[in-house]
Amino acid sequence: MKDENLIEIYQIRDNLWAVDEIRKTTMYIYEGQEKVLLLDTGFGLVDLHALVHRLCPGKEIVVVNSHGHGDHNSGNSQFEKVYVGRFDEPTSHSHMTPEQKERMLASFFRGNPRTESFDPSRWNPGPAPMVMPLRDGDVIDLGGIRLEVLETPGHSLGSICLFDRDNGYLFTGDLMLTWQVWGQLTCSTTLKDYGMTLDRLAALEPQVTEVFPAHGRQDNPHRWPIYHLPPRVLSVYAEGTRRILEGKETGVPFHDGPEGLVVYFDIGGMVYDPARLGVE
């Protein structure tokens, strides 16, 4: 496949793969008996149709975005139809502005050894012709695998998780990572609302066997593979965020992205805007 050096493929199960793109974002391919899910389209630097069909030949591809950010949906233009959470749907029809594209290149491409030979003028991120909204409780049926849509506002208003209850697999997008998540963005919810989402997910912890996030690093402090978090991350994030809201934790200035305060947890951490806690 052309530009195969831009991705690394990890087979997790016989029918489940994590696709790491330029060590910056992780997509998932999950094969059912009738259809195959592509969760997120990353930066869209490779032919995603060819990639999915190479792993799961002959099956219809269902494309879902965990949320509407450019490191998760820039390959949407390769597909006729893409699903996204209903509150991120309105912005998922838009092309990147030149300023947005420049910020993406500066944040993810420049200085990245994985993209040294990549010509950024070849990068043309864009939306799918058809963007379909997903709501809480919707089910994506792949044939023998049913993925329940959970509306999980936090990192973005329209963030969603996909939950395979039969196998206990929870795909969480950017809601929780092995390093601090960004809850301070202008498109993020208040921290109180983010905390309500995390409490909801923590209540599912006894049913969860694997948590699959949308970003990972090989050098994470727990030495987990890039695509894996243990179920206890759900309660760690819920409890850590609750302590911030109760005033039991005070963040320190965050300097590696948009301005905010950060509190580090046993796993990961939360960056938040102290002016947008959502509590009196």
At 3 the pLDDT is 57
- 10 Å CB burial of residue 261 (0-12, 13-18, 19+) is middle
At 207 the pLDDT is 98
Structure-token pair, residue 33: 């008996």
Measure the CA–CA gap between 91 and 84, rounded to whole angstroms: 10
Measure the CA–CA gap between 31 and 14, rounded to whole angstroms: 9
> 183-221: per-residue pLDDT in tens?
999 999 999 999 999 999 999 999 999 999 999 877 766
DSSP characters over 165-220: TTTTEEEEETS--SSEEE--STTS--HHHHHHHHHHHHHTGGG-SEEEES---TT-
pTM of the predicted protein model:
0.95
Measure the CA–CA gap between 175 and 189, rounded to whole angstroms: 12
* Residue the block writes with tokens 């910056």: 24
Domains and CATH numbers, the chain: 1-151 (3.60.15.10), 174-280 (no CATH)
> 112-129: per-residue pLDDT in tens?
988 888 888 888 899 999
